[in-house]
A and B are shown apart, each in its own frame.
Chain A
Amino acid sequence: MARLEVSAVSLRFGGVNALREVSFSVADGELVALIGPNGAGKTSLLNCISGVCRPQSGKVLIDGEDFTSLRPHQRARRGLARTFQNLGLFKGMTVLENLLVGRHTHQKSSVLAGGLWFGRGRREEQGQLEAVLAIIEFLELGDLRDRLVGTLAYGLQKRVELGRALSLEPRVLLLDEPMAGMNSGEKDQLARLIIEVNERRRTTIAMIEHDMGMVMNLSHRICVLDFGAKIADGTPEEIRNHPGVQAAYLGQKAH
Chain B
Amino acid sequence: MELFLQLLLNGLVVGGIYALVALGFVIIYKSSGLLNFAQGEFLMLGAYVCLAILEETRVPFVAAFLLTLVFSVALGLLLERVVLRPLLGQPLISVIMVTLGLSSVLKAVVQALWGSHTRPFPPVFATEPVMLGPLPVSQGYLWSLGCVALLLVLLTLFFRFTRLGLAMRATAFSQQVALSMGIPVRRIFALSWSIAAAVSAAGGMLLGAMRGGVDGSLAFYGLKVIPVVILGGMDSISGAIAGGLIIGVLENFSGGYLDPLVGGGAKDVAPFVALVLILMVKPHGLFGTAHARRV
- A residues apposed to B, CB below 8 Å: 50-52, 71-73, 76-77, 81-82, 84, 88-93, 97, 100-105, 107, 109, 111, 114-117, 125, 164, 168
How many angstroms between the C-alpha atoms of A109 and B161 in the bound complex? 13
Contact A115 B161 (CB under 8 A): yes
Q: Contacts A73-B185, A101-B170: A81 and B180 contacting too (C-beta < 8 A)?
A: yes
Q: Contacts A114-B162, A115-B157: A104 and B176 contacting too (C-beta < 8 A)?
A: no
Contact B176 A88 (CB under 8 A): yes
Interface residues on B, range: 20 to 34
Contact A91 B173 (CB under 8 A): yes
Partner of B177, one of A51, A84, A103, A117: A84
Residue of B nearest to A115 (CB): B162
Q: Contacts A88-B177, A115-B157: A104 and B169 contacting too (C-beta < 8 A)?
A: no
Q: Contacts A114-B162, A115-B162: A88 and B169 contacting too (C-beta < 8 A)?
A: no
- Within 8 Å CB of B177, what residues of A? 84, 88-90
Residue of B nearest to A83 (CB): B180
- Within 8 Å CB of B170, what residues of A? 90, 93, 101, 104
Question: Which of B179-234 touch A at CB < 8 Å?
Answer: 179-185, 191
Partner of A76, one of B163, B165, B174, B181: B181
Partner of A82, one of B162, B164, B180: B180
- Within 8 Å CB of B165, what residues of A? 114
| Residue from B157, B178, B181 whose CB has the most chain A CB atoms within 10 Å | B181
- B residues apposed to A, CB below 8 Å: 157-158, 161-167, 169-170, 173-174, 176-185, 191
Partner of B158, one of A107, A115, A125: A115
Residue of A nearest to B187 (CB): A73
- Within 8 Å CB of A51, what residues of B? 179
Contact A76 B180 (CB under 8 A): yes
**Apart from the given pairs A50-B180, A76-B182, A105-B181, 6 other A-B contacts in the complex at a CB distance below 8 Å:** A51-B179, A73-B178, A76-B179, A76-B181, A90-B177, A104-B166
CB distance from A240 to the nearest CB of B (A): 33
* 30 chain-A/chain-B pairs, Cβ below 8 angstroms: A50-B180, A51-B179, A52-B179, A52-B180, A72-B180, A73-B178, A73-B180, A73-B181, A76-B180, A76-B181, A76-B182, A81-B180, A88-B174, A88-B176, A90-B169, A90-B170, A90-B177, A93-B170, A93-B173, A100-B163, A104-B163, A104-B166, A104-B167, A105-B182, A111-B164, A111-B191, A115-B157, A115-B158, A116-B161, A164-B181
Contact A73 B173 (CB under 8 A): no
- Within 8 Å CB of B164, what residues of A? 111, 114
Residue of A nearest to B170 (CB): A101
- Within 8 Å CB of A116, what residues of B? 161-162
- Within 8 Å CB of A97, what residues of B? 166
How many angstroms between the C-alpha atoms of A111 and B184 in the bound complex? 14
Partner of A107, one of B157, B163, B169: B163
- Within 8 Å CB of B180, what residues of A? 50, 52, 72-73, 76, 81-82, 84, 88
- Within 8 Å CB of B176, what residues of A? 52, 72, 88
CB distance from A160 to the nearest CB of B (A): 13
How many angstroms between the C-alpha atoms of A117 and B160 in the bound complex? 12
How many angstroms between the C-alpha atoms of A73 and B177 in the bound complex? 10
How many angstroms between the C-alpha atoms of A114 and B167 in the bound complex? 12
Contact B182 A92 (CB under 8 A): no
Give the 9 A-B residue pairs with the shortest CB-CB distance, closest first: A76-B182, A105-B182, A88-B177, A72-B179, A114-B162, A116-B161, A114-B163, A73-B179, A77-B182
- Within 8 Å CB of B166, what residues of A? 93, 97, 100-101, 104
Residue of A nearest to B184 (CB): A73
- Within 8 Å CB of B162, what residues of A? 111, 114-116
